[in-house]
Chains A and B, each alone.
Chain A
Amino acid sequence: MSRRLLTCGEHAVLVEVDGLEEVLALDDAVRAAVTGEDAAFADVVDVVPAARTLLVVVHEGADVLPVRKALSALPADRPTSADALRRGVPHVVEIPVHYDGPDLDEVSELTALAPHEVVAAHTQTPWRVAFAGFAPGFAYLAGGDSRLRVPRRSEPRTTVPAGSVGLAGEFSAVYPRASPGGWQLLGHTDATLWDVERQPPALLQPGSVVRFVDVGNNADTDTAHR
């Protein structure tokens, strides 16, 4: 397993690893070191996992060198079953989806699956929240059916409506609010992904398991929500 430490300004280190599983293992290890009061990690203020990298940020004015040194040596084994037990049973979230997205046909072409097979693939394999990013409450879901890997749209949309359910690369996601975006849209949900009045505000927490449920294209249920 390789781990590359890249300089990222005065107060951060970007750690590049081989893949998502390595990122999540290192993320677990760094968070354990931060909460376990490991002195080298005392100044860490933010840890940002992504598809191939983990960004570790220290407080303004703090020295990043101790963290950098500690990161090169920190053991980050894949989570053991004992760790999984300690963290308890994952939180399972069901998300009802109307599979009426504008890119369903394109995804069908790209994957050589019929539209109903795309829906079946998206709903039958559970997804797991790998990390958040892009926008508040935007969770990157990994571990789904590998036949659903599709590239982003070549031209991003200027507005993707809130609740849109999409695919990009190895990930699926739900847009918490309207924003520009380049994901392939399969459908939409009426679930509220982000609400600052709620504790916690994000419906999908790192580690949560997500099951998408096909609730049909019924326009009546749609209009009832508008």
Chain B
Amino acid sequence: MSICELGLEVLATGPLALIQDLGRPGLASMGVGRSGAADRGSFRLGARLLGQSYDAAAVEVTLGGLAVRACGDVLLALTGAPAPATVNGTEVAHAASFLMRHGQTLRLAIPQAGLRTYLSVRGGVDVPAVLGSRATDVLSGLGPAPLKVGDVLPVGAPPRTFPNVELAPVRSMTAGPIVIRALLGPRADWLADPHLLAATPWTVSSRSDRVGIRLEGRALRRPEARLGQELPSEGVVRGSIQVPAGGEPVLFLADHPVTGGYPVVAVVRDADVDLAAQAVPGQALRIDLSFS
């Protein structure tokens, strides 16, 4: 038996470590966005590797650097950006479940590709939920504060279900150019030439966060008839590619605002929003546009 409550003591956070789950769907009428894991596919894989439901919260680690010490024995899994990881100096595998004993320390280095690593724990990170979710929404400020050194993350009771897989094959992440698929609309008529959205090589800006990725490249122009016009604010979805008056697109991620005041010219496919959420500043990105 351990001498402490089951939990993870935070020894280092890296640039940003947040508690995330699948967010708060259905509250847009209160002005509350969904938030939740930026790369939902990787978050879900972590839950499956531990044989638990998607309700269990995990830690979303941006650019590695996290270190946690176990209070009690905990079953863990790392998914998303493959940050090299060790437990008391011994390497542990990515996208696989592993046991960490009481008193042992997990350390994540900086991933060579990808941005966000998910640390899932069997039982889930059991902080109090806000409006039905433990996700931190960096735009609205809802949910738990970012992790700080000295925090002890309580771990919930394990579920009655058991893991039935130890290791999952995952597509390797690249630091090279990525292609994300998008559907044109709803406001493609606010671009002088929508094809340029696909033809332009974009670079992920360092001014990107969980709200959205800014894309740098040759600015897109509005048609003559739209110059000086304003679009009344309207509802936006995750994956929306919004083009402000300046012409450099913003791709909305998990913490996007409920409504936006600039035209959304295309929307990225759900699976590819996960891919975009793993793009690091400086990474090359192209948009594969469907005109259907």
Task: State the CA gap A200–B130 with chains docked (Å).
Answer: 13
Contacts A6-B185, A8-B186, A201-B30 given; does A134 touch B233 at CB 8 Å: yes
State whether B183 touches A7 (Cβ < 8 A): yes
Give the residues in chain A near B18, CB-CB below 8 Å: none
A169–B231 CA distance with the chains assembled, in angstroms: 12
B19-41: contact bitstring with A at CB < 8 Å (1 yes, 0 no)? 00000011111111010000010
For residue A138, which residues in chain B have a CB less than 8 angstroms away from its CB? 31
Report A-chain residues with C-beta under 8 Å of the C-beta of B25. 45-46
Report the count of interface residues on B (CB-CB < 8 A).
38
Q: How many whole Å from A41's CB to the nearest CB in chain B?
A: 13
Look across to chain A and name the residue whose beta carbon is closest to the beta carbon of B187: A6
Cβ contact of B234, chosen from A46, A53, A169, cutoff 8 A: A53
Q: A residues within 8 A CB of B186?
A: 6-8, 14
Interface members, chain B 118-174 (any A CB < 8 Å)? 130-131, 139-142
Cα of A196 to Cα of B258 in the assembled complex, Å: 18
B237 touches A9 (CB 8 A): yes
**B137 to chain A: closest residue by CB:** A136
Which B residue sits closest to A196, measured CB to CB?
Answer: B130
Q: Are B259 and A48 neighbours in the complex by a CB distance under 8 Å?
A: yes
Q: Which residues of chain A have C-beta atoms less than 8 A from B142's C-beta? A: 136, 196
- Answer yes or no: B240 CB below 8 A from chain A CBs: yes
Given the complex of chains A and B, what is the CA–CA distance between A200 and B32 in angstroms? 13
Given contacts A52-B232, A201-B131, contact A134 B259 (CB under 8 A): yes
Q: Could you say which of B26, B30, B184 contacts A200, with CB atoms under 8 Å apart?
A: B30
Q: Which of B227-253 contact A (CB under 8 A)?
A: 232-237, 239-240
Q: Is the CB of B185 within 8 A of A57?
A: no
> Which A residues, 37 to 71, have Cβ-Cβ distances below 8 Å to chain B?
45-55, 57, 60
Given the interface pairs A46-B28, A47-B28, A47-B29, the reply to whether A9 lies near B235 with Cβ below 8 Å is no
B269 contacts A206, C-beta separation under 8 Å: no
A131 to B27, CA, bound (A): 12
Q: Which residues of B contact A118 (CB under 8 A)?
A: none
Cα-based distance from A200 to B31 in the complex (angstroms): 13
Chain B minimum-CB-distance residue to A46: B28
Number of A-B contacts (CB under 8 A): 117
Contact check, B31 vs A135: say whether CB atoms are below 8 A apart: yes
- The majority secondary structure among interface residues of chain B is loop
A10 contact from B40, B130, B232, B270, Cβ within 8 A: B270
Q: Nearest-CB distance from B180 to chain A (Å)?
A: 12
Chain B hits for A7, CB < 8 A: 183-186, 267
Q: Which residues of B contact A47 (CB under 8 A)?
A: 28-29
Interface residues of A in 109-163 (CB under 8 A from B): 131-139
CA distance A54 to B26 in the complex (A): 14
A93 at the interface (CB under 8 A from B): no
- Indicate the member of A6, A136, A138 with the most B CB atoms within 10 Å: A136
Partner of A169, one of B232, B236, B257: B232
Are the CB atoms of B233 and A50 closer together than 8 Å?
yes
CB distance from B253 to the nearest CB of A (A): 14
One digit per residue, 1 when the CB lies within 8 angstroms of any chain A CB and 0 when it does not, for chain B 239-281 equals 1100000000000000001110000100111100000000000
Contacts of A201 in B (CB 8 A): 30, 131
In the assembled complex, the Cα of A200 lies from the Cα of B27 at a distance in Å of 12
C-alpha gap A14/B258 in the complex (Å) = 13
Partner of A137, one of B31, B40, B237: B31
A82 to chain B: closest CB distance in Å?
A: 23
From B40, B234, B240, residue with most partner A Cβ within 10 Å? B234
A134 touches which of B141, B258, B270 (Cβ 8 Å): B258
> Judging by beta carbons under 8 Å apart, are B258 and A9 in contact?
no
* CB-defined contacts of A14 to chain B, threshold 8 Å: 186, 234-235
A202 interface hit (Cβ, 8 Å) = yes
A11 in contact (CB, < 8 A)? yes
Residues A45 and B26 in contact in the complex (CB < 8 Å), given A8-B185, A50-B259, A137-B31:
yes
Query: Which A residues are in CB contact (< 8 Å) with B26?
Result: 45-46
A12: Cβ under 8 A from any B Cβ: yes
Please determine whether B237 and A136 come into contact, CB atoms closer than 8 angstroms.
Answer: no
| B140 CB contacts on chain A under 8 angstroms | 135-136
Contacting pair A8 B32 (CB below 8 A): no
- Could you list 8 examples of A-B contacts with CB < 8 Å? A8-B186, A9-B182, A9-B183, A48-B258, A57-B235, A132-B28, A133-B28, A200-B30
Q: A135-B257, A136-B142 are in contact. List 12 more A-B contacts (CB 8 A).
A: A9-B183, A9-B267, A9-B270, A46-B26, A46-B29, A47-B28, A48-B234, A49-B29, A60-B270, A136-B140, A201-B30, A202-B30
What 8 pairs between A and B have smallest CB-CB spacing?
Answer: A55-B235, A9-B267, A48-B235, A6-B186, A133-B259, A7-B185, A132-B31, A51-B232
